[in-house]
Amino acid sequence: MARSESRVRLAPWLAIVPGVGHLALARRVKGAHLLAYAAGAVALMIWRSERIAEALGSRAIDEWLAVVFLIGSLLAVASYSLWDVRRLLEGGDGPLAGKSPWRVASRRFRVNILAVGSVYVIFLLYVLAILAPLITLQDPSTMENVLETRYLSPSLAHPFGTDEFGRDLFSRALYGARVSLSIGLLAMLLSKVIGTSYGAIAAYFGGIVDSVLMRLVDVVIAFPTFYLMLMLVGVFEANIVLLVLILGLTSWPGTARYIRGEILSLREQEFAESARAIGLPPRLVIVRHLIPSALSPVLVSAALSVAGMIGAEASLSFLGLGIRPPTPSWGNMVSGGQDALLVAWWVAFFPGALLALTLVSFSLLADGLRDALDPKTLMRRFV
């Protein structure tokens, strides 16, 4: 400890490098993570500097966004690191600082190895997907000398091999990840935001408004979602926006029902009454006191629902009703590879494996969140 303190004094400029300050202050885990991310980002910038320059000049918004994300996240990590080190040097949180419910939960989450592992996997997949243009060496849809390049088995040049048109599958898998992962995340967000506000509104107004809104929920639940999807993608050209809308707009009733019920029961509790007794308008009682108390199960179901959304998108695409080739998505890549399964197993294998990995990770994440957020599992080995 004495040594590390002197190191801070000797070279304060080193704290500019993200994580170094934390390492010096014996916050090893946080320091290592910050440092690792920064090192990875810088390494990628050096390795693909030409590609980055090219991407900045290109008209394609997704390439431009990848560069912005890379640089922006590096800056964010660096400034967070500086801010946090300064906070630690000023004495941190103090001895009596509260154990906020989130901090308690995160401590309980971190002992769950599977859940933590799934967070790394999910994080890595999302970063790879966003940075796909900077990481892949080949364009996902370029076809050259098809006869020579088709069905090449995995090698250094093509880590996942090539498909029947000689396209690089690694590159297609990463670009496919962008489609699958963003649909999963956005559809989940849409569904949870609609569900939460809808349920809260029904509970807030109560009476006849509540009855009408909840009967509407019954209608949406009774609707055969899958056939609705089939019909809509039949009528309209399927694209990411349409899939997000369809998946998001059909899956919110569960959340709405849960939130409504929870708010109706929470508002009878004394802390809600005391919030009213200090003169808080009912709208704010719900937003500030009731929704936050009801939210942790929604968080768990959100993690599960991302997996569900990604699975649904993959099924649709597999059936040829979702994202259409040549735009890659994991679903249509598996579907494209099934005919060649005996000659080139890798075509369907890699996207399928990534899909499975993602779904399992989100399930494990949901599991871990549930254990960490549920006070009933508390107090055994964590405290």
User: In the complex, which residues of this chain contact other proteins (CB under 8 A)?
Assistant: 93-101, 268-271, 273-281, 288-289, 292-293
CB of 269 to other proteins, least distance (A): 7
Nearer to other proteins by C-beta: 97 or 235? 97
Nearer to other proteins by C-beta: 94 or 234? 94
The burial of 362, by beta-carbon neighbours within 10 Å (0-12 exposed, 13-18 middle, 19 or more buried), is given as buried
CB of 260 to other proteins, least distance (A): 17
Nearer to other proteins by C-beta: 46 or 277? 277
Q: Whole-angstrom Cα distance, residue 261 to residue 259?
A: 5
Dig out the tokens for 275 from the structure.
């919030």
Q: Whole-angstrom Cα distance, residue 138 to residue 242?
A: 28
CB of 77 to other proteins, least distance (A): 27
CB of 374 to other proteins, least distance (A): 15
In the DSSP assignment, the letter for residue 164 is: T
E strands along the chain, which residues? Answer: none
CB of 108 to other proteins, least distance (A): 16
Dig out the tokens for 132 from the structure.
């796909």
**Residue type present at position 332:** N
DSSP letter for each residue of 176-225: HHHHHHHHHHHHHHHHHHHHHHHHHHHHHH-HHHHHHHHHHHHHHHHS-H
Q: Whole-angstrom Cα distance, residue 255 to residue 220?
A: 13
CB of 270 to other proteins, least distance (A): 4
CB of 196 to other proteins, least distance (A): 16
Nearer to other proteins by C-beta: 1 or 278? 278
Q: Whole-angstrom Cα distance, residue 3 to residue 261?
A: 56
Nearer to other proteins by C-beta: 278 or 343? 278
Nearer to other proteins by C-beta: 109 or 330? 109
Nearer to other proteins by C-beta: 73 or 293? 293
The Cβ-side half-sphere exposure at 193, using a 13 Å CA radius, reads: 9
